[in-house]
Structure 1
Amino acid sequence: MKQRQKRTGITLVLTGEGKGKSSSAFGTAFRAAGWNMQVLVIQFIKGKWKTGEQQAASRFENIEWHALGDGFTWDTKNPEQDRRTSREIWQLCQQKIRTRHYDLVVLDEINYVCQYGWISGQEIAAFIQQEKPPWMHLILTGRGASKEVIDIADTVTEMRLVKHAFEQGIHAEQGIEF
C-alpha cells in the first residue's frame, strides 16, 4: 500500500438517476480493503435493512460499517425526525474523518439528505476542504449531489438511467439491489 504521505486523496462523487452509485462505491471499498487500507462506510438511509454488501464487509477486519438512518426517507412519516437523524449521522461522519484512522471513507446516500435540505452542500463542501486529510479518499453517493460538493470533488460520475427492471414490474432482487 502506498504510504499516506505519498498518496493524493481523491474526493469522488457518484450521483445521477441511474443505478450503480452505491454498488460502485462498495466495489471501491472492497478494492481498498484488498490493499489493506482502513475503510469506513457510513450509510445515511438504509437503517435496519440487511444487505449483502454489509454481510460481505463483516468478513474483513479493515472495513468498519455503519448502516444508519430511519429507512427510506421518501416514505417518511416524520421528516423532522429524519432531519435530526441525518444531522446525527453527519456528526458521526465528521468525528470519524477527524480521527485520521481511515484511508477510504464512503458516505453512502449523503447526497439525498443534502438534496432534501437537511445538510447543506456548502457545509459538506467546507468540511471536506478544511478537514479531510490530503491523503484520504472520500466517496459521496446518492442522487442530487449539490453544486458545492460537485465543485470541490476531484471526480464526479453521473449515472444515467436508460432502463430499469422496476419499470417492468420487477421489484428489488436480493444480490442485485441489496
Structure 2
Amino acid sequence: MKQREKRNGLTLVHTGDGKGKSSSAFGMVFRAAGWGMKVLVIQFIKGKWKTGEQQAASRFDNIEWHALGDGFTWDTNNPQQDRQTSREIWSFCQQKILSEAYDLVVLDEINYCCSYGWLSGEEIADFIKHSKPKWMHLVLTGRQAPDEVIEVADTVTEMGLVKHAFEQGIKAEQGIEF
C-alpha cells in the first residue's frame, strides 16, 4: 500500500439520476480494503435497512460501517427531525475524517441532504478544501450534488438514467438495490 504521505488523496463525487452511485463507491470500499487500507462508510439515508454490502463489509477488519439516517426521507413525516439527524451525521463525519484514522471515507447519499436543504454544499466544500487530510480519499454519493462540491472534487461521475425497473412497478430487489 502506498504510504499516506506519498498518496494524492482524491475527492470523488457520484451523482445523477441513474443507478450505481453507491454501488460504485462500495466497489472502491472493497478495492481499498483489499489493499489493506482502513475504510469508513457513513450512510446518511438508509438508516436501519439491512444491506448486502454492509453484511459483506462486516467480514473485513479494516472496514467500519455506520448506517445512521432516518430512512428514505422523501416519505418523511418529520422534516425537522431529518434535518437534525443530517446535521448530527455531518458532525460525526467531520470528527471521523479529522481523526485521520482512515484512508478512504465514503459519505453515502450525503448529496440528498444538500438537495433537501439540510446541509449546504458550501459548508461541505469548505471542509473538503480546508480540513480533509491531503492523503485521504473521499467519496460523496447521491443525486443532485451541489455545485460547490462538484467544484472542489477531483473526479465527478454523473450516472445517467436510461431505464429503471422501478418505472415498471418492480420494487427494490435484494442483492441489486440492497
| Letter in structure 1 aligned against 2:69 | G
d(CA) in 2 for partners of 1:130, 1:37 = 23
Partner residue of 2:107? 107
d(CA) in 2 for partners of 1:169, 1:143 = 21
User: Offset at 1:176?
Assistant: 0.4
- Alpha-carbon RMSD: 0.4
User: Offset at 1:167?
Assistant: 1.2
d(CA) in 2 for partners of 1:94, 1:101 = 12
Residues 128-161 of structure 1: per-residue CA shift (max 9 Å, x gap): 0011000000000000100000000000000000
1:140 and 2:140 are equivalent in the alignment: yes
d(CA) in 1 for partners of 2:167, 2:145 = 24
d(CA) in 1 for partners of 2:138, 2:97 = 10
d(CA) in 2 for partners of 1:27, 1:56 = 12
For 2:156, what is the secondary structure of its paired residue?
strand
Structure 1 residues without counterparts, runs of 5 or longer: none
d(CA) in 2 for partners of 1:124, 1:114 = 9
Structure 2 residues without counterparts, runs of 5 or longer: none
TM-score by length of 2: 0.99
User: Offset at 1:53?
Assistant: 0.3
Moved over 3 A (4+): none
TM-score by length of 1: 0.99
Partner residue of 1:68? 68
1:120 and 2:124 are equivalent in the alignment: no
User: Offset at 1:170?
Assistant: 1.2
User: Offset at 1:48?
Assistant: 0.4
Partner residue of 2:95? 95
Partner residue of 1:158? 158
Residues 80-110 of structure 1: per-residue CA shift (max 9 Å, x gap): 0000000000000000000001000000000
For 2:86, what is the secondary structure of its paired residue?
helix
Task: For 1:47-62, list aligned pairs within 5 A.
Answer: 47-62=47-62
